[in-house]
Amino acid sequence: MKSLVKVAEIGFVIVSLLLFTGGILKVVQLADVDQNALSPDVSSPIEQLIFLAIQGISLLLVLGRWKLVVNQLLKTDKLILFLLVSLLSLILLSALWSRFPVVTLRRCVALWGTTIFGIYFATRYSFKEQLKILLYTFGLAIFLSFLFAIALPRFGMMSGLHEGAWRGIYLHKNGLGSMMTLSSMLFLVSLKSGKSGRIAKWLGLIFSFLLILLSSSKSALVAFVCLFVILHMCSALRWYYDLMIPGLIGVVGVVTSIGIGLIDNFDNLLRAMGKDPTLTGRTDMWPFIWESILARPWLGYGYSGFWQGFDSDAAYVWYALGWEPTHPHNGLLELLLIFGVIGTSIYILLFLASFVRSLFWIRITRDARYFWLLIFLSYTILTNLAETRVLEYNSINWILYIATILVQPDSSDIAFKKHSG
């Protein structure tokens, strides 16, 4: 009986994570709608009920073992825990100064529910178990994406402007590309960490990368290359200091030189990739968004309090541009819109503390699985340069972020080196 309950619980987690990737629900309901005209917040009552049920079950599972959950949370770095609670509290309080307090409160509940699922996932399973569950989740996403594109092309293929590009179980080709970038890195990390199941892991990596290519998402391809380089830099963090520091300085020098070269030739590079140098109008909107940020610099417009139609402050940006973006296509700008300099500072401090902590865990552990911590945080940076993927409710990005900052290495994985400094 216990084994059946355990299998059912894992099944619940895998299906939930698959839905949190943004897969299936939206594409089935909105397959024939112009994807470029949709708001990222669009969701049907059925979708809302499904996620509400998932979050409710997660809350019950957390309450059922609340002492273990509390003990696990108390093991987390106190600064990180304080910053996370402060961030979530500020998001809730932002309803006080939001022009749309009901919308803000409703979406705060969704974000808090997503956070509860993340806490449940992080405290219920060990880090190794989490990665194993994620492998099954993305393996299922790969299989279903091929199935949708080949057997159900109405759902699995883009139409209109991007006709012919694959989107799999996602609403847009960029959604497929983004998730497959994450999937490919997960399989790569898993290949580095053990010899078991290598054939399945290689297949997962190959098919993840193939789906990136079939999605024709150039941003996903660039992210894959960047993360591939970062992954192979992780090993250097375990060298002795007399080798690590010169090596990392050399790598930083090379990366800086490449970065300067890319900046100097940014327009030409984008044209070579078939991209508009304005990033399809994104850079055109940023000056107007900055004006809006400077109008309310300290506390912002509240969570989901800016992009709320022509009755909202977004109307200024829309009238100035002549079109209607639904987010700023940049994570930092979105944070400043949500809760200004104060909240953005808390988020940045939390991210930096988590980043440093991931470097520390890589440094003192012997298992290559811990490379995933740095890879995911780097992925978060890359995906927020030209898109908005911060503080997303009902999103696997926020769930994995919660799991990443709460991770506790197994004692058997810790390997303090005699000469590590």
Under 8 Å between Cβ of 226 and 382: yes
At 88, list the tokens: 């979530």
Residue 332's domain comprises 2-413
Give pLDDT, residue 267: 52
Q: Is the model's pLDDT at 157 over the cut of 90?
A: yes
- Separation between Cα atoms, residue 114 and residue 16, nearest integer Å: 11
**Interval 1-55: pLDDT, tens:** 778 888 999 999 999 999 999 999 888 887 666 555 555 556 778 899 999 999 9
Q: Is the model's pLDDT at 246 over the cut of 80?
A: no
Residue 157 has phi, psi (to 5 degrees) of -120, 145
Residue 169, domain member (yes or no): yes
Tracing tokens 């060298």 back to the chain, one arrives at: 239
Give pLDDT, residue 234: 82
Q: What is the mean pLDDT of the chain?
A: 87
Q: Which of 126-135, 218-227, 397-406 has the lowest mean pLDDT?
A: 218-227
> Residue 421's pLDDT band (boundaries 50, 70, 90)?
very low
Give pLDDT, residue 5: 85
**Interval 99-130: pLDDT, tens:** 999 999 999 999 999 999 999 999 999 999 99
> Residue 245's pLDDT band (boundaries 50, 70, 90)?
low
Q: Is the model's pLDDT at 95 over the cut of 90?
A: yes
Q: Is the dihedral of CA 370, 372, 377, 378 positive or negative?
A: positive
Under 8 Å between Cβ of 84 and 405: yes
**Interval 311-334: pLDDT, tens:** 999 999 999 888 888 889 899 999
Better-scored residue on pLDDT, 35 or 166: 166
- Separation between Cα atoms, residue 378 and residue 118, nearest integer Å: 19
Give pLDDT, residue 332: 94
DSSP track, 304-363: T-S-S-TTSTHHHHHHHHTS--SS-S-HHHHHHHHHHHHHHHHHHHHHHHHHHHHHHHHH
Residue 380, domain member (yes or no): yes
Q: Is the model's pLDDT at 263 over the cut of 90?
A: no
**Interval 195-213: pLDDT, tens:** 788 999 999 999 999 999 9
Residue 419, domain member (yes or no): no
**Residues near 369 by beta carbon (within 8 Å), at least 6 away in sequence:** 127, 128, 131, 189, 190, 193
Number of residues that make up the chain: 421
Residue 421, domain member (yes or no): no
Looking at the structure of the chain, the number of domains it has is: 1
DSSP 8-class letter at 38: S
- Separation between Cα atoms, residue 90 and residue 340, nearest integer Å: 11
Q: Is the model's pLDDT at 360 over the cut of 70?
A: yes
**Residues near 131 by beta carbon (within 8 Å), at least 6 away in sequence:** 186, 189, 190, 369, 372
